[in-house]
Chains A and B, each alone.
Chain A
Amino acid sequence: MMLLAPMALWFLVIGGAVVALYLLKIKRRAATVPVLEFWLALAGKTRVHSLFDRLKRLLSMLLWLIIVICLVLAIGNPIFSLGRIKPRAIAVIIDNSASMQAVEPASESRTRFDLARQALREISGNRPVTDEWMLIEAGREPRVLQPWTFDTAAIRRAGDAVEPFSGAAKLHDAIELASQLIAGKQDPCIVIISDGAAGELAPLTAADDRLIHWPIGTTHDNAGIGQLAVRAHRQNGNYHALISVVNASDEPLETQVTLEIDGRTDSVELVSAEPGGTWEKSIVIDAPAGGVLRASLDRADALAVDNEAFAILEPIRPAVVWLVTPTDSAFFFEQALASMDPLVWAEESLTLTPEQYPAASAAAAAPDSSLKRPDLVIFNGWAPDALPAVGRFMVVNACPAELGSPAGEALASPQIHLAPRAHPLMQHVSLQGSRLAKANRITLRQPGRVLAHSAEGDPLIALIEQPERQTLLLTFDVLDSDLPFRNAFPLLLRNTVSFMHEDAPSWLRPAYRLGETIRPSRALPAGTTEAKLTLLRGGTTQESSVPVVNGSFALTQTHHTGAVRLEIGDDAAFAAMNIGDAAESRIAPVNATEDHAAKLGLSRRLLGGMPWLMLAMFASLAVVLEWLTYHFRWTE
């Protein structure tokens, strides 16, 4: 037996005091009574001073000594080891991931995380004081919460200070960190207090004997939104949302998921999934103005945090297209672009002659210009010698000198061969059997991707992508072919507008995982000192500001699902925060295959309870026994 608080032995002095008190008690005060028999009859005793009478006093003193010893030992928090328990270095990894927020009905509706903290107290309270301890948090980025210490109280305090994390745990990284830190320690082991992380732990503990999985949780009942992804479909002016629901329970799932945009219900989808299965659906959302999409699952289960997910619907802005072409060949392109509503912003698009282009380009670049800057400039039959350094361009039947140079005679009746690798620009475009009267033979001066070429390998359609510029080259005259009579060219033109139309880059990514620190994807404008932050969580908004230092910031308030809106000057950026890991919804605990308490070497229980508690109960029983024996005069 060891005492975790050996200082309690000082209280054994009380035992000496008890003996002293009994010695004093033996010196009774004398009193004379008229007749003794009267009192003896009441006391139910004879005049005989038997040995038993004296033993009765000893019994009373013995009971009080037992009470004192039990209490002292209880304060000392003993552990019973029978020689098994040896001092060792114990690195405890506490799993505070989203699945650990599952409520356990069998444990008075406490969360698994609460049970994990309780387990930490139990572990640290049933080991010798000579153990060395360390605590590591597995959520977010694994980090050491309490460095090596012999103070178990510090470990318990650190455990109590751990915050639950709504994201996915990184148990593997935490174990790696712990493995590095236990090197060179005496009889080291790593205790992982976790629900098993959907089976992630089992192979790890099987491979490393130093790992001890301390299982937490019993319930399976959960269904959650495993994924919510949104993609803007510019050509149709809508969004495609992919939503998946994980059914981790043992019962078939029949429920519904509600999609809201900025708090307004957009649609309700019925969800049906077998036990352990997944329900997925792609949903078309028609909301060109964009907004915050919230998907919520209508089901009360053990884990609430995965019953909602957020996504950002970036507003779909139509593309501004400038057509620079000689007047006599503009009709076909204009008709093709006019048919691309809402992909092309007809009101802001322009048709220019080559002579008008320089002036218009300069006007659009002016700060207060009423002209919208073009998302795509189509040069047909003419192109400047040098394209602007930034922008998206389609050059038809021409070639700027910087991109390519003539390579000899024009190709006569070239046959179109598509490149074997598909490209978004060529999606649904069928050029098979198209006839070209001729094509320019050019040699590319910049590395580019040839999307179509002649039989001799000369590029006919090529995409040249540079850091700030994209250019699609067509080396033939569209009107000098049968393309105007086919669907292929309008499709190619639509693909080009859609592919090359790009919104201004956002300061944020569309979505972040919970716990992930949000940083700007590019440097903020110089002189920015703060960004206004709006957090949307469960229908409520919280506004605050984030300090900006050296054009960057770090937003760490990402522990809850929701959306974030960041205002930087006149610009605004949105991002969604979700769990980002469907495995967290699968909360079914993985039970340890071994006796984790025995492997760790915890104190044996005393009559099924904690030793200190049972000793305190013994002391209480002894007090009652002493009172009864005294009351019924079995002791004096």
Chain B
Amino acid sequence: MSVVSSKPDLPVMGQSPVGGRPRASKGPLFDPSFLQRLETLNLIARQLVRGRRSAARPSIKKGASIEFKDYREYSPGDDPRSVDWMAFARLGELYIKLFRQEEELDLWVLLDRSASMDFGDPSKFDHARRIAAALAYIGLGNMDSASILPFDTDLRTGLERMRGKGQVMRLMKFMEDMTIGAETGFEKTAQMFVSRVRRPGIVVIISDFYGLQKARAGLDRLRFAKHQVHVVQVVSPWERNPPLRGELRLHDAETGEETNLTITDSMLKRYKTAFQAFTTDLRKYAMRSSIGFDLTDTDVEFDEFVRHVLQHGRLLA
């Protein structure tokens, strides 16, 4: 389910109607009401989590817990403490008792900080950071751990396995200090993530997903690693309806490449159609791949979006 702006696609105020780069807003990332809005979201999330607790994530793995699951024959190297000596007494053979392993529920938020995210007013990057912070806060309160890992060309250092709501100030400080990076390399990012995080968890990728073909490879890699993947595509009104006309020298925000291009009305019309197809393709891919998908416009408040995701999405399912 995507949440899109109900506002008309109009050029954002304060930016050049033709050409130029829409600059990120200069205001504070987290205003004083931000925490209050996070707590509201957390309450909503808690209610949802309690309602689903009974079916909450029993692990198929066998491990060390108090809940018995099965027996198996002893083999050399097994922990002698797990041998069922009562069975040995009755049957004269060594059996190992197997218990259901309790799995921790980890939330991993992969945040795209590539240069292409530095667009719109508010910028996609700011919008993405607020959403990431909200999700992480919810993870702190309702899951075993929450992590935020920024990425651009590859996976960057972030906050890993934070536990407890006491980490919130650290989280906000980290988010505020996060800067825009370079190009997007999501496939490499996914590869690094899978190699570092072997225990499956909930992985939320917040990005604009430009270069969908490469992004698909990374998402597939996360799926194959048993992670529950959820993507949040961030778009800005500028991207939906770019105020570009005429003879322009286009500058690639990520690569810095430039090209001369004449943008006509017909070309702009084709762009809008292609952009719509771009988001639709990502959505269809997500549906086919059992990946959660949500689309957010930067002109929609982050908490409204998160509330929508919590109530209608599968993020905490």
- Chain A residues in contact with chain B, CB under 8 A? 25, 28-43, 45, 47, 49, 53, 630-631, 633, 636
Contact = CB atoms under 8 A, between A and B. Distances in A.
Nearest to B278: A38
Contacts of B117: 34
B239 interface: yes
A40 B254 contact: no
B180 to A, nearest CB: 12
Given A29-B18, A39-B263, 7 more contacts: A29-B246, A31-B249, A35-B253, A39-B250, A39-B261, A42-B270, A630-B264
Nearest to B116: A34
B253 A30 contact: no
B274 A30 contact: no
A371 B113 CA distance: 137
B247 interface: yes
Contacts of B251: 30-33, 36
Interface string B7-46: 0000000001011110000000000000000000000000
Contacts of B260: 28, 49, 53, 636
B151 interface: no
Kindly list the 9 A-B residue pairs having the minimum CB-CB distance in the complex, ordered from nearest: A32-B21, A31-B19, A36-B252, A34-B116, A29-B19, A28-B249, A32-B251, A35-B210, A28-B247
B267 interface: yes
B78 to A, nearest CB: 54
Contact of A47 (B211, B257, B267, B270): B257
Contacts of A38: 210, 271, 274-275, 278
B255 interface: yes
Interface string B229-254: 00000000001001010111111111
B259 interface: yes
22 contacts: A28-B260, A29-B20, A29-B247, A30-B248, A31-B16, A31-B21, A31-B249, A31-B250, A33-B253, A34-B210, A36-B257, A36-B258, A37-B210, A37-B211, A37-B252, A39-B259, A39-B261, A41-B274, A42-B271, A43-B261, A45-B259, A49-B259
A45 B254 CA distance: 19
B19 to A, nearest CB: 3
A29 B19 CA distance: 6
Given A39-B261, A43-B261, A34 B239 contact: yes
Q: Which of A33, A34, A37, A43 has the most CB of B within 10 A?
A: A34
Contacts of A43: 261, 267
Contacts of B275: 38
Given A42-B267, A636-B260, A34 B253 contact: yes
Contacts of A32: 20-21, 250-253
A35 B18 contact: no
Contacts of B255: 36
B119 A34 contact: yes
Nearest to A34: B116
B60 to A, nearest CB: 41
A633 B250 CA distance: 16
B18 A31 contact: yes
B266 interface: yes
A630 B247 CA distance: 12
B208 interface: yes
A43 B267 CA distance: 8
Query: What is the interface residue range for chain B against chain A?
Result: 35 or more
A21 to B, nearest CB: 11
A56 B80 CA distance: 81
Given A38-B274, A636-B262, A31 B210 contact: no
A25 B260 CA distance: 11
B262 A633 contact: yes
Nearest to A43: B261
Given A32-B253, A33-B252, A39 B247 contact: no
Interface in B98-129: 115-117, 119
Nearest to B236: A34
Interface string B51-72: 0000000000000000000000
Contacts of A37: 210-211, 252
A53 B262 CA distance: 12
Q: Which of A28, A35, A47 has the most CB of B within 10 A?
A: A35
Contacts of A47: 257, 259
Contacts of B278: 38
B252 A28 contact: no
Given A29-B246, A29-B249, A636-B247, A35 B211 contact: yes
Contacts of B274: 38, 41-42
A473 B146 CA distance: 159
Interface string B80-93: 00000000000000
B244 A35 contact: no
B236 to A, nearest CB: 9
A36 B271 contact: no
A33 B118 CA distance: 10
B249 to A, nearest CB: 4
Given A36-B259, A633-B262, A636-B260, A31 B252 contact: no
B266 A28 contact: no
Given A40-B259, A49-B259, A633-B262, A33 B249 contact: no
A25 B249 CA distance: 11
B275 to A, nearest CB: 8
Given A42-B271, A42-B274, A633-B262, A31 B253 contact: no
B267 A25 contact: no
B313 to A, nearest CB: 25
Contacts of A49: 259-260
Q: Which of A33, A37, A39, A43 has the most CB of B within 10 A?
A: A33
A58 to B, nearest CB: 14
Nearest to A46: B259
A32 B210 CA distance: 15
B20 A30 contact: yes
A43 B246 CA distance: 13
Q: Which of B16, B211, B261 has the most CB of A within 10 A?
A: B261
B249 A30 contact: yes
Nearest to B120: A34
